[in-house]
Chain A
Amino acid sequence: MDATADRMAVKVAAPPAELEREPLVLKHRSLAWVSDTVAGIAEGKTPTWWWAAFVPSFLGMLMCFLMIGYLFSTGIGVWGLNNPVGWAWDITNFVFWIGIGHAGTLISAVLFLLRQKWRTSINRSAEAMTLFAVVCAMIFPAIHVGRVWLAWWLFPLPNSNGIWPQFRSPLLWDVFAVSTYGTVSLLFWYVGLIPDLATMRDRAKSAVRKFCYGFFALGWTGSNRHWRNYEKAYLLLAGLSTPLVLSVHSIVSFDFAVSQVPGWHTTIFPPYFVAGAIFSGFGMVLTLLIPLRTLCKLEDVITVRHVELMGKVILATGSIVGYAYGMEFFIAWYGGNPYELYAFKNRAFGPYWWAYWTMISCNVISPQLFWFKKIRTNIVAVFILSIFVNIGMWFERFVIIVTSLHRDYLPSNWGYFKPTIVDILTFVGSFGLFLTLFLLFIRFLPLIAISEVKGVTPLADPHHPLGGSKGGHH
C-alpha cells in the first residue's frame, strides 16, 4: 500500500468536481485487496449465516424433488389443471424463472458491449443466477408433459415411429431456445471464470483444492498472448449472447402469441416479454446481492452506486412493462374484436381481478418510486422494492396464462383454476433448488469477477498515476 500512496501523491490534472464519478471500488483498495477479499469468501471457515441459509434451501430442494416424484408416480391430476385451464402454475413458473435469468445475460453481455464498467462487480453472480434460474425453468416444461419418459421426443432424435419433431410449433422453438440459452450462458460464465480459477489455484493451500481449481483453470498463466485471444473470445461471446437473450424471451412469448387465444394473440408480446424479463431479473439480482454485500462485507465493491444504477434499469424496464399493459388494453379496444376486449376486461375486473391488480401495483406503481434518488440509494428500500418486482412478475405470467384460458369463447367452457398443495410446494421447492445452487456457488467459486474488477480500477491503467504512469507519453 505504501507504493500506492506514493504514486497517489503525484499531481495530475483532475477533472472538475461535477464531472468526477464515484469510483467503482471505494477507498482506493489495492489489487491484492480485491483478490484477498473476493477469494477469501470461498476460503476459510464456512460462516454460520451460510449454514442458516443452506439447510432450509436444501430441504426445500428435497421437497421439490419429492413433489416431482409424486407427480411422476401419480400423474398430472395432482396439480389443479383441468379443462379449460391446461397451463397454469407449471408454465407460469417456467416463464418466471427463465425471465429471471435474463438479467444475468443483460449484465454480462449487453452492458459489456455498451462498455458499462460497473457491471464487473455484479456480472459473475448475476450470470450464476442466470444458470440456476435456467435449471429451475427447465424443470417445469419437462415435468408438465405428463408422460415424462417420452420427453425425449422433443429432440430431433430418431425413434421407432420413424417420425420427427414438428418444427412449425413455437413449443419446439422453445426447446432449442432454452437449451441453447442454458448452454451458452454456461460457456460464457466459464470463460469469465478461467482467470479467477487460476487465482484460486495459486492461493489454494490443500492439494485437493489445488487440483480442482487447477484442473478447471486449464493452466491459465495470465499470458498476454492468451489474454489477446481471450478478450476477443469474450467480446464475441457477448456479441452472441445479446441476440440470444433477446430471442429467448421472444420465443417464449411466441408460445402464447402464435396461438389464437384471445389475450395471447398479440404482436406486442416479444418486446414486452423481453422488457419484463430484464425487469424481473434485475429484481432478483438486487434481492440476492443486497444481503450478500453486507454478509460478505463487499460494500466497497458492490457500492451504493451499483445499487442505484440497477434501480434505474428497473425503473426503465418497469415503465416499458407498464406501457405494454396500457397498449394491450388500447389495442383490445381499437382492434374491435369482442373476444379480445372481453379477455382484457375479464383480466382487470373478472374473477382474477386480485391477481391483475397485484401485478399492476408491484410492476407499474411501486417501481415509480425509483424516480427519487433518496429511494434508489436507500439499500433497505431498494431491497423491499426488489421483492415487489419478483412478486409482480410472477403474477404477470399467472395473469397472462390463467385469465386468458379460464374463459375462452363458449361460456359453457368457463372454469376457475385453483392450485393444489402439490402445485404450491413444487414452486416453493424450486426456490430451494435455486438457493441451494447459489449458496454452493458462493462457497466454492469467486462470486465477483476478480480479474475484471482489478481491470477497472485506476491501478490497472498504465496511463494513470496509480497504474505507474510517470506522466510522459510513450
Chain B
Amino acid sequence: MSAATSRTYGILAEFETPADVMHAAEQVRDAGYKKWDVHTPFPVHGMDQAMGLKNSVVGYFTFVGGATGLTLGMSMIWFMNKFDYAIVVGGKPLFSPLYAFPVSYELTILLGAFATLFGMFALNRLPRLHHPLLKHPRFRGATHDKFYIVIECVDSNYSGVETKALLEKAGGKHIEMVEE
C-alpha cells in the first residue's frame, strides 16, 4: 500500500455484510468525518441514520415541477381556447377549470416526474462517468455483493495512519488507497 499523495482520492475498506458496514459507518460518523460515503449494492435500511444523513430534499423539486405543470396546463388552455382563438362549443363557457382539468392534471404529473428525475440527478451530481472509484479493481463488488466505506483525503479529519486504524478497528478488510 502506498501512502497518501496529492493524487490520492481516498481510502477504501471492504465489508462482507450490511450489518458490518452499518456498525462501521456509525463509528466513522462518530469520529467526525464529513467527506465519506458508504457504497452498497442495494439501499441498506437504517444507513442514513448510521451515516447521520438528513431526509432527502427531492420532494421540493417534485412540488415545483408539479405546480409548474398545473399552472402551465390551465394557462395554456385559457390562452388557446378563450383568449387567442375563442372556440365556441355547444354554448358552453369559453374557459372553465373543469374541462381544463384532465389535461392540466396530466401535465402536473409529467412535469412533476421530470423534475423528480432531474432533481435527483442534480442532488447526486450525476451523470459522472469518470469517478476514481470506478477505476479501482476491488470496487466492482459494490454493485455485486460487497459493501464499502470510502473516506476522502480532502476530509479535514483525514490522517493516513489514524483513518486506516479506524477502518481496521471497525472490521474493514482489504483497506486500500484509491488513486485519483
Contacts and interface: CB of A to CB of B under 8 A. Distances in A.
Interface string B42-55: 11111110010101
Interface in A123-176: 156, 162-168, 170, 172-173, 176
Interface stretch (A60-68, A212-220, A273-281): A212-220
A452 B42 contact: yes
B2 interface: no
B124 A167 contact: no
A183 B128 CA distance: 24
A378 interface: no
Given A195-B42, A469-B19, A470-B19, A232 B59 contact: yes
A220 B128 CA distance: 8
A462 B39 CA distance: 15
Contacts of A350: none
Contact of A223 (B20, B37, B106, B145): B37
Interface string B124-138: 101111110110000
Interface stretch (A50-58, A236-244, A353-361, A407-415): A236-244
A254 B101 CA distance: 13
A31 interface: yes
B40 A233 contact: no
Contacts of A474: 22-23, 26
A218 B143 CA distance: 14
Contacts of B145: 30-32, 35, 454
Contact of B17 (A191, A451, A467): A467
Contacts of A214: 129
A184 interface: yes
A218 B127 contact: yes
Contacts, number: 217
A221 B131 contact: yes
A462 B46 contact: yes
A222 B106 contact: no
Given A180-B109, A462-B22, A219 B42 contact: no
Contact of B58 (A31, A162, A223, A236): A236
Given A199-B143, A224-B48, A230-B43, A167 B103 contact: yes
A165 B84 CA distance: 12
A224 B39 contact: yes
Contacts of B85: 162-164
Contacts of B112: 236, 240
A71 B41 CA distance: 50
Contacts of A166: 81, 87, 89
A247 B76 CA distance: 20
Given A195-B42, A224-B37, A230 B120 contact: yes
Q: Majority SS of interface residues in chain A?
A: helix
A225 interface: yes
B42 A251 contact: no
B107 interface: yes
A228 B53 contact: yes
A177 B19 CA distance: 45
Contacts of A226: 124, 126
A221 B123 CA distance: 15
A225 B37 contact: yes
B80 interface: yes
A251 B40 CA distance: 42
A460 B42 contact: yes
A323 interface: no
A3 interface: yes
Interface in B48-104: 48, 51, 53, 55-56, 58-59, 62, 66, 76-77, 80-81, 84-85, 87, 89, 92, 99-100, 102-103
B110 A183 contact: yes
Contact of B103 (A35, A172, A183): A172
B56 A202 contact: no
Contacts of A451: 41-43, 143
B178 to A, nearest CB: 11
A229 B129 CA distance: 18
B105 A167 contact: no
B117 interface: yes
B124 A225 contact: yes
A222 B142 contact: yes
B129 A218 contact: yes
Nearest to B113: A184
A31 B59 CA distance: 31
A380 B91 CA distance: 58
A168 B41 contact: no
Contacts of B81: 164, 166-168
B59 A176 contact: no
A240 B116 CA distance: 10
B7 interface: no
A299 interface: no
Of the candidates A226, A231, A233, the one having the most CB atoms from chain B within 10 angstroms of its own CB is A233
Contacts of A233: 56, 58, 116-117, 119-120
A167 B18 contact: no
A267 to B, nearest CB: 16
22 contacts: A162-B85, A164-B84, A166-B87, A168-B89, A177-B106, A191-B120, A198-B143, A221-B134, A222-B39, A222-B40, A222-B143, A224-B47, A230-B124, A236-B59, A236-B112, A455-B42, A459-B18, A462-B18, A462-B19, A463-B19, A467-B18, A469-B19
Given A229-B56, A462-B22, 5 more contacts: A30-B145, A31-B144, A198-B143, A229-B120, A454-B42
Interface of A: 3, 7, 30-32, 35, 156, 162-168, 170, 172-173, 176-177, 180, 183-184, 187-188, 191, 195, 198-199, 201-203, 214-215, 218-233, 236-237, 240-241, 243-244, 247, 251, 254, 451-452, 454-455, 459-463, 467-470, 474
The 3 closest A-B pairs by CB, nearest first: A468-B17, A468-B19, A218-B127
